[in-house]
């Protein structure tokens, strides 16, 4: 019986020593990041220009997207995504007594009305950008 305990103790000690030895290299790796890991986390450099060439290149697509969005927002109640359609939904929620839904839709309506103003401002800005790009020969 005493021999079994000594054998068990010896096996336990060997297992513990093996666990400690195998954990050593893992802890060393965690302490010092590898060169590949530090290269990935390095901050990128600042832009070297204002991106004017790319803005001019994307200008027609951007103008189309803004125009399409404004057309949709200013559409009548049959146009999905229009302000008129959302106003109609707010009215229906109010009639049905769905206060929470009405509040939610009113918040969306407020955002959508503000979006029209923002898109109109961007559309006006893009006209002057278009003029500049043409003058630079970038368009």
pLDDT digits (tens, 9 = 90+) for 68-89: 999 999 999 999 999 999 999 9
User: In this structure, is residue 107 part of a structural domain?
Assistant: yes
CA 117, CA 123: separation in Å to the nearest integer?
A: 10
Q: Is the pLDDT of residue 25 over 80?
A: no
Domains in the chain, number:
1
User: In this structure, is residue 35 part of a structural domain?
Assistant: no
Its domain, for residue 91, covers 52-136
**For residue 132, what are the CA distances in angstroms to 51, 54, 55, 121?**
14, 13, 11, 17
User: In this structure, is residue 109 part of a structural domain?
Assistant: yes
User: In this structure, is residue 2 part of a structural domain?
Assistant: no
Check: pTM over 0.85? Answer yes or no.
Answer: no
User: In this structure, is residue 117 part of a structural domain?
Assistant: yes
Q: Helices 99-136 and 83-96 sit at what angle, rounded to 10 degrees?
A: 170
User: In this structure, is residue 11 part of a structural domain?
Assistant: no
pLDDT digits (tens, 9 = 90+) for 52-64: 888 999 999 999 9
């Amino acid at each position: 019986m005493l021999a079994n305990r000594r054998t068990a103790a010896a096996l336990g000690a060997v297992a513990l020593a093996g666990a400690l030895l195998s954990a050593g290299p893992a802890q060393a790796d965690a302490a010092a990041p590898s060169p590949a890991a530090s290269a990935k986390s390095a901050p990128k450099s600042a832009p070297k220009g204002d991106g004017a060439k790319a803005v001019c290149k994307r200008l027609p697509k951007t103008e189309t997207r803004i125009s399409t969005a404004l057309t949709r927002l200013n559409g009548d109640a049959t146009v999905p995504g229009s302000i008129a359609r959302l106003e109609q939904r707010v009215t229906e929620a109010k009639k049905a007594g769905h206060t929470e839904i009405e509040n939610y839709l009113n918040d969306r309506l407020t955002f959508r009305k503000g979006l029209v103003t923002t898109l109109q401002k961007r559309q006006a800005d893009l006209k002057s950008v278009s003029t500049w790009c043409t003058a630079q020969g970038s368009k």
